[in-house]
Structure 1
Amino acid sequence: MEFADHIGTPKLDGVILHSPFHEPVDGTLCVSGHHLILSSRKEDVEELWLLHQCIDSVEKRPNGTNSNNQNGGSLILKCKDLRILQLDIATTEEFLNVYASIERLSNLDNASNLYPFFFRPMYSILEDGHTLFKPELEFSKLLASDEWRITNVNKNYYVCPTYSSTIIVPKSIDDETIMAAANFRDGGRFPVLSYRHDNGAVLMRSSQPLLNNCNRRCRADEKILNQVLGMNKKGYIIDTRSNNLTSHCKAKGGGTEPEGHYTQWRRTHRGLDKIANCTGALLDCFQKFMDACNDTGCSPDKWVSRVERSNWLSHVQNALNAACLVAQCLDQEGASVLVHGSSGLDSTLLVTSIAQVILNPDCRTVRGLQALIEREWLQAGHPFQMRHGKFCYSNARNKNQQPTFLLFLDCVQQLHYQFPCSFEFTTQMLIILFEHSYASQFGTFLGNCDREREKLEVAKGTTSLWSYLNRPNILTSILNPLYEPNKTAIWPSVAPVSLNLWTEFYHRWIVDQSQYKKAMTKMHGLIENDKNVRSKVVKYRKQLADLQKEYDNFLDENDGSESG
């Protein structure tokens, strides 16, 4: 079916747009295959370009009916970027046509029909973001050692459909062992390298073992894990599920590693159940959280109570707690860690990625964060298309949709808030990542795994978000002027009183932040001026030192006599 078949009214005059912090705009509405466009004849009014993919739900509010059929109504557009917009349409027929068009175009099932495959950048591509963070490049130092190698055992995605085609494994482990271990793990997600700390401790991730209710063992799986540890060393298995959820999974054939066969590994549980066991409960919590944020009429005490009852910040706290535990095992005990929940697609990736931001200063840079998202979310098979199909405003969402990636970004924001000088980027970069993960002109977050992206030919047919973000003019807009490289780990406080409500993001369409942005811009300008002054002072000091050195040499050559 062509896009035109979905559009009942392609163009309509006299539509009134109501949007946050702007006066109502009377303009012309155009419904294209991928965008809603509303433009006004007034030169000082900015056009609205809204991707259909960004619309989470659309509500009809008819004005009533009469014999002339002229009453029309309002369409309430609730967007995945948390905006709420209103379109007032004068006639009932056009009102219903526009509603039906938005409903159809915002729910396209085929990823190849989405805007990234039609977007053509108006700028030159300086570097191809689709190939920027290949595993062989990211782990080049490790691969130069005698401990690790690249395997292509998953080249056709038969061993594990959600892993990438190239995987880093211990050099002493052959492909037959890997295939046997994959059969023992849920979805074939056998233990793979996630991160190697400076002290040699290794972070790995996987899915739960499949015990089939009989505590069966898998020598291949044991061999991989013990090979990582070496002789006479202990490691930790950190299960992101509670004991109760683990027992529930065991009743269905899953569970955790039998202690008798993993004697070098100690197991501990961290109850991130609403994330580890994808039931849609996390998105329900976020909906309650946003309902509280959007309710500007209630008293402060009631508002705080509603935010607390939503439990969103509790999930942030629990995720940070689990990540800190992993980081402490790696950094302070020098012990290797395996992290897994049930499928290994959500809470596992959440914890391993936050732990790396805590430990690895490279992950706190612009490119380092991009690389982290590539290897720990995209190449690791987090199902973005499935998880982000609907958001908190939609009544049509299902249990497969949940904001795990947003929870990760919020956790990074918490670290940024406590250590503002340790991050090369501002939190604006985190907001950009959120927006493009839900609706974008770029192909980076399309599909559910590398296998799907390869089938869709995303690298060939779309532009990468990284290609855009790394352009000099965009890059400078997200750089943090307070940044001072910090080569050590950052250990956050995870006490409730230390957690910060990310108002820059959650309240940006609710509370006017224009004055705050002006103040931040002015502050950044002062910091840049101060840095320029300090840079000039350093330069002048160097010049004076060079002159003093030349003068001293002159005196030495002339036996200390200035008259010589």
Structure 2
Amino acid sequence: MADKLKIAKVENVKVLGGGEVSTVTLHLTAHHLILLQHFTNELPSKEVKTQTRESWFAYPMIANCTFRPTSPGSALESSIRLRGRDFRFFTLNFSDEKLAWDVYESLKGATCRLGSIEKLYAFHYEAPPPERQVNGWSLYNAKEEWRRQGISSKSKDKGWRISRINADYTFAPTYPALLPVPSSISDNTLNYAGRYRSRSRIPVLTYLHPVNNCSIIRSSQPLTGLRGNRSVQDEKLVHACFSAPGTECEGNSTSAYLCSTRNLDRDSSSSNNSSDSSTQRPILDDLNSSSSLEEIATKDQIYGAQRQNLIVDARPTVNALAMQAVGLGSENMDHYKFASKIYLGIDNIHVMRDSLGKVIEAIKDSDISKISPNKEKLAKSGWLKHITGLLEGSALIARQVGIRHSNVLIHCSDGWDRTSQLSALAQLLLDPYYRTIDGFIVLIEKDWLAFGHMFQHRSGFLNSEKWFSVQSDALAGSAIQPGSNNEGRGDAIENAFLSAKRFFNKSNQSQEGINDFEAEILGQEETVSKSSIKDDITTREATKPKETSPVFHQFLDATYQLLHQYPTRFEFNERFLRRLLYHLYSCQYGTFLYNSEKSRREARVQDRTASVWGYFLSRRAEFTNKDYSGGEIDDHVCGKERILLPHPDRIRWWNEIFNRTDKEMNGPGHEDCRDQKASIRTLSYTDDLSHTNPTITVARQHSVSGKMSSLTGLRDGIAGLALGIGKSSLGQKSPSRKQPIELEMQ
């Protein structure tokens, strides 16, 4: 790493942060930029003592670096403006332009010119003794977790077994080695079913409810294509997942939302084949309402008396159907008549990346000013809307499993982004174990790491040269040079560029709808084509900026919302979540490196790096919630119920993660973002497109009227639209997307 550094030390550098200037000495080490500040402190004895403050900045934490050199004789100093992935912003000002160049090139070399994951700090970090005493790698054991859920060869058969079909990762390289599948399904059937799911990510169990034996299943999208391909083996597998025997409620329970007064209907297909919409509508309406647990408990309905097994497609309907153009798509419910399907309308990684970018635009000047964030930009970022959508979708799944005593299959495209978010959050709502420190770690290990969330691609550990830029002196105005006499020039130039940007954004607004699912298709094609190319390690591990996205960040943000709404129900505190996001990007530990369980085993990360869980568990007291109630479960006592349900109207900014005060982001004057938030209120069958909720929709397996039958060609029509995406750049009129089509019916 030393060969990447052109300079190791620079003195008398002015640092601008929070609108204040201080003088520091820079130290550039192999893996960190260190800011060393000397200051004096007068003691009570009138003695003046010199103290030192060190600020360490790991190179992978650099999210953006802009160098503004100045010509000789300029009144301005050369500067390097840095933005961290932990949302720290600061500017380094240099009196010597040559030193500034050397620092910039050193930062660039140590950050995005490593060429290999194995050159990151994790492979060189020596954990201190307290961390070494805690074996973080042993905390998660797949067999033990499945045994905790009641699945073991030595225990009573609950309808599930552990398949070793992927023991060598040849069946599904991005899946874990051990796959919980229905006992009635052979590995031979799994082999055939794998050909019908993207990347062979077949439907497998991720959670089994301890009270009613209902399940959360996860997978990738099916390969239906434009011809409507089907797989009998896949249909058999999904049916078996939904047909595992339920558990009869015991005791005289008055907890209406956890136990039915009737036996559970063990035949899922018979309960879902009814065409009586008047019978099913109240159940679905209430399932997706924002009612509290107390409100649900007072209703006259008998919960769990009728199963409503669901296939949850996390994507917007248009995106899901457009994927048929490249041979992918969503389930044709004519072949899955034992279930209903819904679309949650959660946007793809590109939309989420852009949304966070807009949040950054609102807070980006925190290095040069103490002014509060731009609240209008915060509201327009859509960030809270996305967090709300995730929580409401997860609550829908939790209600379905924990209250409706039904099974749910979740997928998005490849099943490692939105699927991981929804699956993990739903389990957090359902199972108090996952709200403990150890349980939350197990949840991340299982649903994020083992099931193949692409941490390397989404986080961009090796950074990108596109995130480093040099701005000429002509643009180096006074925006980061307080006290200069050239303030007007810089602001005028910046305003001119902003005006031009607004003009082009406005002219391109009509393209946004098409670009949304076009990016999803292109991203899918890019990943598929490049995965088949055996390239050198540098190209293979290089960061692709368009594949980065704050997917895990959103999961932690949603968890923060639950912690804030239920402050006594979680063993960990807010700082635990904040430090977890920090260490995702610090690359100090090997836990989040690479994209899959297979890749981590091949790289031997457990032997060569330390686990981030050792960091947290060796400091357990620092990350323990002092208000934690202890996790006692009593479904007869309000406040001790097993299940939690989020309150969408209480979603707020996680101000600590953005290094802002609560008043700055959530205080008076903050625009009410409720109109920006997702609104998932009613899940019902409807014949009328104009009354369809634009966020969440139902795919029904039966037509109950001629109007529904007339809509059977909708899917093919939308998929055909995807084939014409390229024509939009040839002067043809783009279709309006004021009201996104969010309905699929058979």
Q: SS of 2:12's equivalent?
A: strand
Q: Is the 8 A contact 2:655 2:661 kept in 1?
A: no
> Residue 410 of structure 1 corresponds to which residue in structure 2?
557
Alignment of structure 1 residues 252-291 onto 2, 5 Å = 252-272=326-346, 274-275=347-348, 278=349, 280-291=350-361
Question: Aligned partner of 2:334: which letter?
Answer: G
Q: 1:187 to 1:442 in 2, by over 3 A?
A: same
Say if 2:426 is the partner of 1:342: no
> Residue 568 of structure 2 corresponds to which residue in structure 1?
421
Alignment of structure 1 residues 222-233 onto 2, 5 Å = 222-230=235-243, 232-233=267-268
Say if 2:653 is the partner of 1:506: no
Q: Is the 8 A contact 2:392 2:646 kept in 1?
A: no
Alignment of structure 1 residues 104-253 onto 2, 5 Å = 104-107=109-112, 108-124=114-130, 125-140=132-147, 141-143=150-152, 144-146=155-157, 147-197=159-209, 198-230=211-243, 232-234=267-269, 235-253=309-327
Question: Aligned partner of 2:62: which letter?
Answer: I
> Residue 494 of structure 1 corresponds to which residue in structure 2?
648
**Matches of 2:66 and 2:562 in 1, distance apart?**
37
Unaligned runs of 5+ in 2: 40-49, 244-265, 270-308, 469-543, 634-641, 666-746
Q: Shift of residue 5 of structure 1? A: 2.1
Q: Shift of residue 191 of structure 1? A: 0.7
> Residue 30 of structure 1 corresponds to which residue in structure 2?
27
Q: Is the 8 A contact 2:88 2:659 kept in 1?
A: no
Q: Shift of residue 489 of structure 1? A: 0.7
Q: SS of 1:103's equivalent?
A: helix
> Residue 14 of structure 1 corresponds to which residue in structure 2?
12
Q: Shift of residue 210 of structure 1? A: 0.5
Q: SS of 1:226's equivalent?
A: helix
Q: SS of 2:137's equivalent?
A: helix
Question: Aligned partner of 1:476: which letter?
Answer: A
Question: Aligned partner of 1:507: which letter?
Answer: N
**Matches of 1:452 and 1:142 in 2, distance apart?**
27
Q: SS of 1:374's equivalent?
A: helix
Q: SS of 1:47's equivalent?
A: strand
Q: Shift of residue 90 of structure 1? A: 2.6
Q: SS of 1:50's equivalent?
A: strand
Q: SS of 2:13's equivalent?
A: strand
Q: Is the 8 A contact 2:120 2:587 kept in 1?
A: no
Q: 1:481 to 1:510 in 2, by over 3 A?
A: closer
Q: RCO (CA 8 Å, sep 6+): is it higher in 1 or 2? A: 2
Q: 1:499 to 1:393 in 2, by over 3 A?
A: farther
Alignment of structure 1 residues 72-87 onto 2, 5 Å = 73-87=78-92
> Residue 523 of structure 1 corresponds to which residue in structure 2?
none
Q: SS of 1:367's equivalent?
A: helix
Q: Shift of residue 450 of structure 1? A: 1.0
Q: Shift of residue 393 of structure 1? A: 13
> Residue 479 of structure 1 corresponds to which residue in structure 2?
624
Q: SS of 1:320's equivalent?
A: helix
Unaligned runs of 5+ in 1: 514-564
Q: Is the 8 A contact 2:587 2:593 kept in 1?
A: no
**Matches of 1:409 and 1:470 in 2, distance apart?**
18
Q: 1:45 to 1:63 in 2, by over 3 A?
A: farther
> Residue 467 of structure 1 corresponds to which residue in structure 2?
614
**Matches of 1:509 and 1:325 in 2, distance apart?**
32
Percentage of identical aligned residues: 29
Q: Is the 8 A contact 1:168 1:193 kept in 2?
A: yes
Deviates more, 1:200-209 or 1:132-141: 132-141
**Matches of 1:510 and 1:462 in 2, distance apart?**
37
Q: Is the 8 A contact 1:54 1:438 kept in 2?
A: yes
**Matches of 2:415 and 2:172 in 1, distance apart?**
12
- Superposed CA RMSD in Å reads 2.6
> Residue 68 of structure 2 corresponds to which residue in structure 1?
61
**Matches of 1:481 and 1:335 in 2, distance apart?**
35
**Matches of 1:453 and 1:105 in 2, distance apart?**
23
> Residue 449 of structure 2 corresponds to which residue in structure 1?
378
Q: Is the 8 A contact 2:108 2:465 kept in 1?
A: no
**Matches of 1:63 and 1:145 in 2, distance apart?**
74
Say if 2:99 is the partner of 1:94: yes
Say if 2:292 is the partner of 1:292: no
Q: How many residues align?
A: 499
TM-score normalized by structure 2?
Answer: 0.64
> Residue 399 of structure 2 corresponds to which residue in structure 1?
328
**Matches of 2:664 and 2:102 in 1, distance apart?**
33
Deviations 1:241-284 (A, max 9, x none): 12211210112211112222211111111100x23xx3x22111
**Matches of 2:129 and 2:21 in 1, distance apart?**
33
**Matches of 2:118 and 2:95 in 1, distance apart?**
35
**Matches of 1:509 and 1:99 in 2, distance apart?**
31
Q: SS of 1:86's equivalent?
A: strand
**Matches of 1:70 and 1:228 in 2, distance apart?**
71
> Residue 3 of structure 2 corresponds to which residue in structure 1?
5
Q: 1:295 to 1:23 in 2, by over 3 A?
A: closer
**Matches of 2:194 and 2:427 in 1, distance apart?**
25
Deviations 1:460-491 (A, max 9, x none): 100001122111xx110111111112532111
**Matches of 2:33 and 2:662 in 1, distance apart?**
22
**Matches of 2:71 and 2:171 in 1, distance apart?**
59
Q: Shift of residue 298 of structure 1? A: 11
